[in-house]
Structures are given as structure tokens and as C-alpha cells.
Amino acid sequence: SNSNSNSNGAGGCLKVFVSNLSFKIDEVILRKLFEPCGQVTEVTWLEEEKDQDKVFMGCAYVTFASHEGAKKAVERGGMRHMKRDVRVEYSRDKTRAMGAVKEGAKSCFVGNLPFDCSDDRIMEWAGGPEAGVTKVWLPLDKRTGKHKGCGFVEFMNSDFLRNFVHSRNGADFQGRKLRLRPKDPAGAARNDRRWRGGGRGGRGGRGGRGGRG
């Protein structure tokens, strides 16, 4: 259904933002996923125009008939589905954050990292090759040999980066709220020489999804 009546409810309590979805998902599968929570009245995919086509961004808004349904959906956040940890939160205006990732951008600054984390831990937290991650770099302090509490994550393309920023900004990592800031494509290019090693095995395009009803 495409009904928008009272879709935001009291401060968005009827609508939830679902991120880190598999690129193979469709509306039938998504509705079935949230069926135990309550009646779903609307599904809105987050897509962007690219080369006169719409590209799925791995995120969606799901609107429920009741506040209780939305509440149950949020409580299911972090569930494993189609090899991904799906995140669910009450709806907020994501359009401003979406605009923060410029077309062509592929890398992201990650701040407030714990000093005992590693490249591999960040790679895993960011979703790894399945989420389009190609490289992780934690700059080291020349005097101590330890990293500086920040790092950079590079993705295959701006779509993967955008999904990462939307779903992970402010998320918890080893007890700390991480800050994400997408890098401008021009600035990121200057940092290319500083990446350590080659890519860690990103995959190619995922192809289209099934019909959305």
C-alpha cells in the first residue's frame, strides 16, 4: 500500500528506519520479516537516481498500523537476516544525512575509536566485503606505535558508503559511540597513497532484486 496517512504517528512512532538490508531483499521478504511485529501498512525503499535508473541503497522505511508494532520492530534490531545484522530504529529524517555522501565518495573517517581495536575488528564491524568494504586504515602515532583513536574505511562505491553512514553513525563499538564523516572524493583521492596493502576482497555488483509488489 502507498497510503501516507498518519505515517509518522506521534513523532514517528508508527514508522521505523531499517538499514543494512541485503541487496537481494524484496518487499514480500521484508513484510514477512516484520509480520510477527504487527500489520505493516507501507514499505518505502530508499533509492537514488543513477544513470537514469533507481539504485537500492540497502535501507527502507516500514510503517506499522500500530505503535506497538513499531515498538516490537525496534526491539528486533540487530537480528540476523540474509547474512546481515539488520538495524531497526524509529524513523528520523535521513535525507540530510543522505546528502552528506557526495557522488563518487568511497571513504569515511571514523572517530572515537578505542585505542585497543584493530583493522580486522573495524573491518568486521563495518560489515566486511559483504557490505562493500575494501580497505581499513588506522593511522599510527610515530612516537608510540599505537593508533590515534581514529581511522578510515573505504568502500567499493558511494552506495555502500552511504548505507554505512546511515546505519552506523553514532553506533556502539566496544562501548564507544563512533563518529562517521564521509570524505570528499577529491580529498579522499589524496589519501590513496596512505592506504596499507591492497583491498580485502570486496565483491562486484549484486544485481537487481525481485519485484516489490
Q: What is the DSSP string of 191-204?
A: TGGG--SS------
Phi, psi (rounded to 5 degrees) for 142: -65, -30
pLDDT value of residue 190: 52
pLDDT value of residue 116: 83
Contact, 59 vs 46, CB < 8 A? yes
The CA distance from 120 to 197, in Å, is 13
* Residue keyed to cell 537481494: 24
Low-confidence ranges of the chain (pLDDT < 50): 1-12, 93-99, 193-213
* Residue keyed to cell 535525507: 95
Q: Give, rounded to a whole angstrom, the gap between the first and last alpha carbons of the chain.
A: 9
The CA distance from 182 to 180, in Å, is 7
Phi, psi (rounded to 5 degrees) for 57: -105, 5
Q: Has this prediction a pTM greater than 0.95?
A: no
pLDDT in tens, 121-178: 999 999 899 899 999 998 887 777 777 788 899 999 988 888 888 778 777 888 888 8
The CA distance from 178 to 151, in Å, is 11
Residues in Cβ contact with 205 at an 8 Å cutoff, skipping those fewer than 6 apart? none
pLDDT value of residue 187: 57
The C-alpha cell at 170 is 553514532
Nearest to 157 by CA among 196, 102, 95: 102
The CA distance from 197 to 183, in Å, is 20
Cβ atoms < 10 Å from Cβ of 69: 23
Contact, 60 vs 18, CB < 8 A? yes
Residues in Cβ contact with 73 at an 8 Å cutoff, skipping those fewer than 6 apart? 16, 18, 34, 37, 38, 62, 64, 88
How many CA atoms are closer than 13 Å to the CA of 50, on its beta-carbon side?
Answer: 13
* Residue keyed to cell 579522499: 188
pLDDT value of residue 13: 67
The CA distance from 42 to 15, in Å, is 9
